[in-house]
Structures are given as structure tokens and as C-alpha cells.
Homo-oligomer: A and B are copies of this chain.
Amino acid sequence: MKVSRADTNADAKTDGRLDHTLPDPALRAAILDAADAAQDRCVALLSDLVRQPSLLGEESGAQALMADRFAALGLAVDRFAVDEAALSALPGFSPPVLPGAYEGRENVVGVHTPRNATGRSLILNGHIDVVPTGPAELWTTPPFEPRIADGRLYGRGAGDMKAGIAAYTAAFEALASLGYRPAAPVYLQTVIEEECTGNGALACLHRGYRADAAVIPEPFNHTLSVAQVGVMWVRLVVTGTPAHVLDTSAGTNAIEAATTLAAHLKALEIRWNAPGRRHHAFCGHPHPLNINLGRIEGGEWASSVPTRCNVDLRLGFFPGQDPKAVRGEVADALADALRNDPALKGVTADLVWAGFQAEGCEIDPTHPLMTMMADSHRAVRGDEPRHVALTCTTDARFFALYGDTPATCYGPEATRIHGIDESVSLDSVRDVTRVLALFIAGWCGLEAA
């Protein structure tokens, strides 16, 4: 849902509303204590999750773990695979990186149904998939062996975003430990493929999941996201003209051509970031739109001029831009380069749009979801949470754009996500558990377990 400014309630963000909707001080203190008491189990779950190398296509171990955990919480467990054929017709679908390979790769949803639904329903969503580790030998300790040091837990996916999943689970458990359950439907979702398509989250929508709000505890350091860029992946399949190295000038080196084409897109990136064409949420950002040269593979033999080089690029674009139009701009920029750059003589480039074709989105910062999340943050951390416009994508777009479910991200402080020695602050994870427990209590209301 694109929330327009006209829809908002300017009075929602008031002290009065905070006192009205969050639990009273005594219960609030009890909930915070219960969240603290849940921390050991939270860290244990996070460690167990990091031990599961839930790379693309290898999510099943981590998902089985979460299904068991949700069942142990007394939730109904719904497991379902991505129906690629059905999803491919939906808005928001991205062509998969592993087409035809969704068999056995399930989403897991823990469904809480209250006795009396008196509050507002809620989706707590996290992605179970993690990005590749990079060279494992560069890690201080192996990336799928969780390591705790200096108050941080290290491992691939520790921050992005297994900590968030552990935190929302611990928040639910903390309320249960006090004898409470939410007084509204709550859906605890762990989804696949957030890191390349979002088709896991889209499958949840297609399954029918909707709520009055969705929170995704992505590791953005206790900020509340109000917007996120669109993200697009494209592979350039670059073909040069091969030759023997005894006369390299006889051919056009496909590797050099591919990096030249990527450089032309860097020029596009500069134009796209120009102040005059920015989306309002990103006006103050130093460099919101990045074009990343993420993967390359070309040539076969040191002594042959390479004929073929594949380059995988990731491009950001603003909310409100149509992905189709963005693809057109990229294709035009590359065609111009191929026509006019003498270094690209004889070169062809095919564009393969697989992976993210993800629109940007935003949420009204004064929506009750945002104000109550801010209230909860303030109650735990004392300060005002920063609003951020994200320069990456998250699954929030599905809820917001196609699911009529306002969504924001709020999660722990993590470093080096997608990098080497990724880690998350465990104190920060505890605070996220506290914030989410308060928020569930306030948003959904509580009933006796």
C-alpha cells in the first residue's frame, strides 16, 4: 500500500496515544523483564540458525528448525513451497535465479489465533536465506560456526537477519512466559529468497496472509524505515571477438568490454543520483542509488582473447519508478555505449533480467504502526528512533505495495552484513526483543494464554 499523506492521522504520534496503547507501566516492566529472561534462549536460537547454512536453495534445515520452534510455541505451522507458475503472473514477481527449483524449498508461518480477536493483527516477517560467505578463509572463524566475542555474535546471517527472527520469536515467548498471548492474529513468517527475488514473501501474500501491519526486524540499528529503493538485477552476457594472443588487436576482449560496459552504467548511476531527480525520501542521502558490479566470469584460457564474459549487476532506483522504464533506461545506455564507444567495436551484449525486479516503496511516517513502534523504541531505549530511507530493498515492499499491509523494518545493530565477519550486537538483539514484545502487547492487545 502506498500510503498518501492525506491518509494519515497527525494526532497519532502523541504521548496520549503512547499511554493509551502500550501496556501500563507495571506490565511494561514485567514484559521487559520477561524479554531479558528470554535472551539466553534467543541467543541459543540465533546460534542454531547460524549453524544452518541457509544459502540460496539450501534453506530446508533452518526452516525445519523454525517450524519445530513455532510448533513448540503452540502455533499452527503452515509450510508451503513457492508456486512459481502461479506467482509469475503477480505484480512484484521476480524471475528466479534458480528457475524451476522451488520444489521442497518452503516458507514457514507460525499462526497464532486468539480466542477473541480484539486487537490489531500483525505479521512478523524475517528471511531465512543468507547471501554467500565470500572466501571462507578470510573469516576469523568459519562463517557457519557461530562465535560470541565482545558482546557480538559472528556468522553469516547472524545480523541479516537471523537475529531478527530470533528476536521476534523471543518476544512472543516472553509474553507467553507471563501467561499472555496476543489478542489478535499474529503470523510469524520465515521466508526464502529475500536476498535475490522476494518470491518467498510474495508466496505468503499469495497464500492469503494479510494483517493490519507487518514488522521486519532487518538489522538497521533501531531505525524505522520509511522508504526503500527499488532494486534490479541484470546479467550482461557480453560477446567479443576472439583471437590468439599473438595479435590481441585482432579481437575484442570480452572481459575488457564487459568492464567498459559496467563503467558506462556508472555514468548512469551518477545521472540517477543527481539532486534534481531524487525521490523526496532520499533528498538528504549522500548517494542513494548504487550500481554494483557483483559477479563476473569470463574467458577460459590465459593465452586466448576471451570471447564471452558474464557480469552480474545490481542497480538501485527510486520509489515510484516503473521497473520496466528503468530496464529501458539501462538497455538504452548500453546500446548507446555499444554504438558509440570505439572500445566496444564488434561487441554485443545480451541482457538477462533474472533476480530482483523490485519496486521501491514508502510508508507514511505518521501511520499508527510507525508511531507505536516509535513509542515502543522510546520505552526501551529512551531516545527517538531515527526514520531512514533504505538504499536497499526488503520484503516490506510486498506488504506495502501488493498486500494492503503497512510495513516497516526495525531491527538490531549489525556490521558487515554481506561481508566478511558479519556480526550482530547481542545487547541490541535484546533491545529488539523488548521493543517487539511491547509492540505486540500494544498493537494486538493481550489475552490470557
A residues with a Cβ closer than 8 A to B are: 131-132, 134-135, 138, 160, 195-196, 231, 233, 239, 241-249, 251, 253, 255-256, 259, 287, 290, 292-309, 312-314, 316, 355-356, 390-392, 416-420
Contact partner of A138 (CB less than 8 A), chosen from B135, B231, B239, is B239
In order of increasing CB-CB distance, the 10 nearest A-B pairs are: A295-B299, A242-B419, A294-B302, A132-B300, A244-B418, A246-B392, A134-B307, A302-B314, A302-B312, A304-B418
> Is B392 a contact of A293 with CB atoms below 8 Å?
no
CA distance A231 to B304 in the complex (A): 13
Residue in contact with A287 in the complex, picked from B233, B249, B290, CB distance below 8 Å: B249
Residue in A244, A303, A312, A416 whose Cβ sees the most chain B Cβ within 10 Å? A303
Among A290, A295, A416, which residue has the most Cβ atoms of chain B within 10 A?
A295
A309 nearest in chain B by CB position = B296
A251-B416 Cα distance, complex, nearest whole Å: 10
Contact B301 A305 (CB under 8 A): no
User: Which residues from B are CB-within-8-Å of A391?
Assistant: 245-247
Q: With A305-B418, A308-B134 in contact, is A245–B294 under 8 Å at CB?
A: yes
Given contacts A135-B307, A255-B293, A416 and B242 within 8 Å (CB-CB): yes
Distance in Å: Cβ of A139 to nearest Cβ of chain B: 10
Q: List 28 A-B contacts (CB under 8 A).
A: A131-B303, A132-B304, A134-B304, A134-B306, A134-B307, A134-B308, A135-B239, A138-B239, A138-B308, A195-B301, A233-B303, A245-B292, A245-B316, A245-B391, A246-B391, A248-B290, A253-B293, A255-B293, A292-B304, A294-B304, A295-B299, A295-B306, A296-B297, A301-B312, A302-B313, A303-B314, A307-B419, A307-B420
Residues in chain B near residue A242, CB distance under 8 A:
134, 416, 418-420
Docked pose: A246 CA to B296 CA in angstroms: 20
Least CB distance from A314 to B in Å reads 4
Residues of chain B with a CB closer than 8 A to A297's CB: 296-298
CA distance A200 to B181 in the complex (A): 75
A303 and B292 form a contact (CB under 8 A): yes
**Oligomer: number of copies:** 2
Given that A296-B297, A296-B299, A301-B131 are known contacts, is A392 also in contact with B290, CB under 8 Å in the complex?
no
Chain B contacts for A316, CB-based, 8 A: 245
- Residue from A160, A195, A312, A390 having most chain B Cβ neighbours under 10 A: A312
A295 in contact with B305 (CB, 8 Å): no
A8 CB to nearest chain B CB (Å): 27
From B131, B196, B295, B418, A298 is in contact (CB under 8 Å) with B295
Q: Which residues of B are found within 8 Å of A259, using beta-carbon distances?
A: 255-256, 259
Cα separation A303 to B239 with both chains bound (whole Å): 23
In the complex, what residue of chain B is closest to A242 when comparing beta carbons? B419
Q: Is A306 a contact partner of B293 (Cβ separation < 8 A)? A: yes
- Decide yes or no: A195 and B294 within 8 Å by CB, A135-B239, A392-B245 being known contacts: no
Taking CB as reference atom, which chain B residue is nearest A419? B242
A244 neighbours in B (Cβ, 8 Å)? 160, 392, 417-419
Q: Is the CB of A195 within 8 A of B303?
A: yes
- The chain B residue sitting closest to A256, CB to CB, is B293
Could you tell me if A296 and B298 are in contact, using CB atoms closer than 8 angstroms? yes
Given contacts A239-B135, A245-B418, A246-B392, contact A301 B295 (CB under 8 A): yes
Contacts of A299 in B (CB 8 A): 293-296, 312
B298 touches A390 (CB 8 A): no
In the complex, what residues of B have CB within 8 A of residue A290's CB? Answer: 245-248
Q: How far is the CA of A303 from the CA of B195 in the complex (A)?
A: 8
Given A297-B297, A304-B418, 6 further pairs, Cβ under 8 A = A132-B301, A134-B307, A135-B239, A160-B244, A294-B303, A305-B418
Candidate in A239, A243, A390 with the most chain B CB atoms within 10 angstroms: A243
User: How far is B292's CA from A417's CA once the two chains are assembled, in angstroms?
Assistant: 35
Complex CA gap A242/B307 in Å reads 29
